Amino acid sequence: DYTNGLPDPAELKEELLKKYPRKVAKKRAKSMVTNNPAESKEILANVRTVPGIITQRGCTYAGCKGVVLGPTRDIINLVHGPIGCSFYAWLTRRNQTRAMEGDPNFITYAFSTDMQDENIVFGGEKKLKEAIREAFENFHPTSIGIFSTCPVGLIGDDVHSVARDMKAELGINIFGFSCEGYRGVSQSAGHHIANNGIFKHVVGNEDRERTGKYQVNLLGEYNIGGDAFEIEALFEEIGVTLISTYSGNSTVESFAYSHTADLNMVMCHRSINYIAEMMEEKYGIPWFKVNFIGAESTAKSLRKMAEYFGDSEMIAKVEEVIAREMLKVKAVAEAVKPKVEGKLAMMFVGGSRAHHYQDLFRELGVKTVSAGYEFAHRDDYEGREVIPSIKIDADTRNIEDLVVTKDDTRYREDLAEKKAKLEESGYEFKDYKGMMPDMQKNALVIDDVNHWETEKLIEFYKPDIFCAGIKEKYVVQKYGVPLKQLHSYDYGGPYAAFGGAINFYKEMERMLATDVWKLVDAPWKHEPEIVGCVTVD
Ligand code: CFM
Ligand code: HCA
C-alpha cells in the first residue's frame, strides 16, 4: 500500500490534466487510474492517441512484421514500401535465433521493394512481383510473407492477389498482410492481423509424428536478448518437447505442425492470444497463461505445466530444478537486495512487460510506483477473468459462455457465480490477472503515457529507475534518472527464467546502487530554450 510515505497521485493527475484542452483532459483522465487492487476499476485503453501528443506507440506494420513474424528465421519477410520502414525495423528488436548448420536464417537481411515515387503514382504490384522472384532465385525460401506499409493501402496495391499469383508461379507458400501502419490505433492491430494470417496460411499445413510424451507450444515469447534459450533449456531438462515458439527462435516449418501440440502456454497474452484461441477452437488445444519473467513466476509456471500433465515424474523433476535454481537465484538476490530495497521504479512498456517485470523488481524489494502499457487492452490491465484450468472432462469442454478471455465487459459479471457454475460442471478455474490487481494500492496506472506526462512523473516521484524504450531513454537520463530498456534490454539479457533473473538482479545493482546518475546535469538547465522559429522566404 503506497498510501503513506509516497506523494498522492491524485495531485499529479490534476497537474497533468490542467495542461490539456478540456476535451483532451476528459479523455486522458480516463486513462489515468489511482490503483486499488481490492476494487474493479476501469481504465480507458486501446483508443486513438490524440493527434499532437507525443506517444510512445508504434504502428500496425511494426506489430505485424516486426513483432510477430520478424523473429521467424526461415521465411523471407518482404516489406512492400519505401525503404525506411524496412531499415528502421532491421534487427533493432534484438530477437535472437539459432539455426542448425545448413538451415536458412534470413533474419539478418532486410528485404524491401524500396518503392519510389513512380511506384506510388503508377502502382507497385509489378515491382513487388519482381522482388519476390529475385528473393526466390537468390535465397530459395520455402515461404515468403509480404508486409504492406502505409502507401500500399493508400494507392490500392493488392498484395493478396500478387501473393496468390506468385504462389502459383513459384510453387512455394506466399501470403500477404494488409498491415498498413495507419490501421488500428497501435501495433496491437498488427498482432491481430499477423495471428490471423499465420493461422490461415501456415498452421495445420503439415503433420508430424509425436517426438515426445508431452508436446507443447510456447506462445508470445520472442527471444529478445536470448530469453527463449533460457526457457528452452528448462523444458528440455524437464522432459517436455517444445514443438514451436511463436515466434522467438522459430521457423514457419514448426508453425505448420504446431497444431500437433498437447498444450499452448501463453507468455505475452497481448500479442498472441488470438492464435491460442483459434487453436483451441479448431484443434481443441487448451491454453493457459504463463510468465517466465521473475524467478517466482518461473517456478509457478513450471509447476502449472507439470500439474497440467499430472505426471508425478515430471512434478518431481520440476521441484528438483526449482530447488537447485532457486539456491543460485536467492544467493544473488540476497546480495543485491540490501543495496536496492525500497527504491522506486516506473515502467511504461508495450502490452505485457510493464506487468511482468514488476515481479522481478518485487523480488528485489523495489517499488513500482507507476506503470502502464503503450497499447494493451483493458483485460491486460483489469483482467480478473476466468480462464478454465484444463484438467477438464474432454466430453464437456463446451464452456465458451462461461469463459471470459476477451477485452469486453463480460468479466464484470459476477465471478463467484461463474466459479460456482464451473465447479459444478467439473471444471477448475484460475484467475488470469492483469496488471492492476497485481499492483499496490495508490500506485498510478497510466495508459499510452506521453512525453509531457513522462517528464511530470519524473519531477513528481523522482524515481530511481525508469523502464521504457529507445525513444524515452535519453530524455529520461538527462533528468539524472537511469533508464532500462525493457524492450531491447539495451545490450543485456537474457532476463527470463532463473538465469535471466540473476542477470537482471546484477543489472539492477549496477544501475541502482550508484550515485553516478545524480551527477547528470541536463543541458536545458543552462542553455536557453529556443522559443521562436525562423521563417525563410
Ligand atoms: Fe508482447 Fe513483446 Fe510486449 Fe509486444 Fe512490443 Fe516487445 Fe514490448 Mo517492444 S510482443 S506486448 S509489441 S511482450 S516489441 S517482445 S518489448 S513493445 S512489452
Ligand atoms: C515496436 C518494437 C519495439 C520498439 C522498442 C522501443 C521493440 O514497437 O515496433 O521503442 O525501444 O521492442 O523493439 O517495441
For 376-433, write each residue's pLDDT tens digit: 999 899 987 555 443 333 344 444 433 433 333 333 344 556 556 656 655 555 556 7
- Please check whether residue 13 is in contact with residue 341, taking contact to mean a CB–CB distance below 8 angstroms: no
In testing the pocket of ligand 1, which one of 46, 56, 93, 352 has its CB within 8 Å of the most ligand atoms?
Answer: 352
Grid coordinates representing 52 are 499532437
Give CA–CA dist 141/104, Å, rounded: 8
Q: Between vectors from CA 356 to CA 355 and to CA 359, what angle results, nearest 5°?
A: 105
At 406 the pLDDT is: 35
- The sheet carrying 263-266 orders its strands as 241-247, 215-221, 263-266, 287-289
Residue 93 CA: nearest ligand 2 atom is 13
Mean pLDDT in residue range 146-164: 98
Q: Residue 210 catalytic? A: no
- Residue 73 above 70 pLDDT? yes
Binning pLDDT at 50, 70 and 90, where does residue 529 land?
A: confident
In testing the pocket of ligand 2, which one of 64, 454, 487, 489 has its CB within 8 Å of the most ligand atoms?
Answer: 487
Nearest to 258 by CA among 291, 235, 287: 287
| 291-324 per-residue burial string, b: 16 or more CB within 10 A, e: under 16 | bbbbbbbbbbbbebbbebbebeebbebbeebbee
- Residue 467 above 50 pLDDT? yes
Q: Between vectors from CA 240 to CA 306 and to CA 219, what angle results, nearest 5°?
A: 85
Binning pLDDT at 50, 70 and 90, where does residue 101 land?
A: very high
Binning pLDDT at 50, 70 and 90, where does residue 280 land?
A: confident
Ligand lying nearest the CA atom of residue 189: 1
Q: From atom 6 of ligand 2, which residue's Cα is the shortest distance away?
A: 469
C-alpha to C-alpha distances, 427 to 260, 276, 306, 390, 439, nearest whole angstrom: 24, 19, 18, 8, 28
Query: Pick the catalytic residue: 73, 183, 191, 192?
Result: 191
Q: Which amino acid is at 134?
A: E
Query: Pick the catalytic residue: 28, 57, 80, 93?
Result: 93
- Please check whether residue 247 is in contact with residue 72, taking contact to mean a CB–CB distance below 8 angstroms: yes
Q: From atom 8 of ligand 2, which residue's Cα is the shortest distance away?
A: 58
- Residue 122 above 70 pLDDT? yes
Cβ atoms within 10 Å of 154's Cβ, excluding its own: 11
How many alpha carbons lie under 13 Å from residue 139 in its C-beta half-sphere? Answer: 26
Q: Residue 179 catalytic? A: no
3-state secondary structure of 434: coil
* Ligand 1 lined by 336 (C-beta under 6 Å): no
* Ligand 1 lined by 250 (C-beta under 6 Å): no
Ligand lying nearest the CA atom of residue 59: 2
At 104 the pLDDT is: 97
At 420 the pLDDT is: 64
Mean pLDDT in residue range 195-218: 96
Mean pLDDT in residue range 526-533: 73
Query: Pick the catalytic residue: 45, 62, 189, 268?
Result: 62
C-alpha to C-alpha distances, 203 to 61, 212, 260, nearest whole angstrom: 21, 20, 10
What pTM was estimated for this model as a whole?
0.92
- Residue 173 above 80 pLDDT? yes
Grid coordinates representing 288 are 493457459
Give CA–CA dist 401/60, Å, rounded: 31
| φ, ψ for residue 9, nearest 5 deg | -60, -25
Q: Ligand 2 centroid to 451 CA: how many Å?
A: 16
Q: Name residue 450's beta-bridge partners.
A: 55
At 425 the pLDDT is: 56
Ligand lying nearest the CA atom of residue 222: 1
Give CA–CA dist 26/179, Å, rounded: 31
Q: Which residues line ligand 2 (CB under 6 A)?
A: 58, 62, 66, 92-93, 187, 350, 469-471, 485, 487-488
Residue 58 CA: nearest ligand 2 atom is 8
What HEC string does 385-417 produce? EEEEECCCCHHHCCCCCCCCCCCCHHHHCCHHH
Cβ atoms within 10 Å of 106's Cβ, excluding its own: 20
Average per-residue pLDDT for the chain: 91
Helical H runs in 32-186? 60-61, 83-87, 117-122, 125-139, 150-155, 159-170
- Residue 193 above 80 pLDDT? yes
Binning pLDDT at 50, 70 and 90, where does residue 534 land?
A: low
Q: Which amino acid is at 85?
A: C
In testing the pocket of ligand 1, which one of 57, 353, 373, 495 has its CB within 8 Å of the most ligand atoms?
Answer: 353
Say which residue the cell 553516478 belongs to: 516
Binning pLDDT at 50, 70 and 90, where does residue 245 land?
A: very high
Q: Ligand 2 centroid to 311 CA: how many Å?
A: 39
At 483 the pLDDT is: 98
At 284 the pLDDT is: 82
- Residue 233 above 70 pLDDT? yes
Binning pLDDT at 50, 70 and 90, where does residue 30 land?
A: very high
At 286 the pLDDT is: 83
- Please check whether residue 407 is in contact with residue 452, taking contact to mean a CB–CB distance below 8 angstroms: no
- Please check whether residue 108 is in contact with residue 91, taking contact to mean a CB–CB distance below 8 angstroms: yes
Q: What is the DSSP letter of 369?
A: E
| φ, ψ for residue 233, nearest 5 deg | -65, -40
Q: Name residue 173's beta-bridge partners.
A: 143
At 404 the pLDDT is: 38
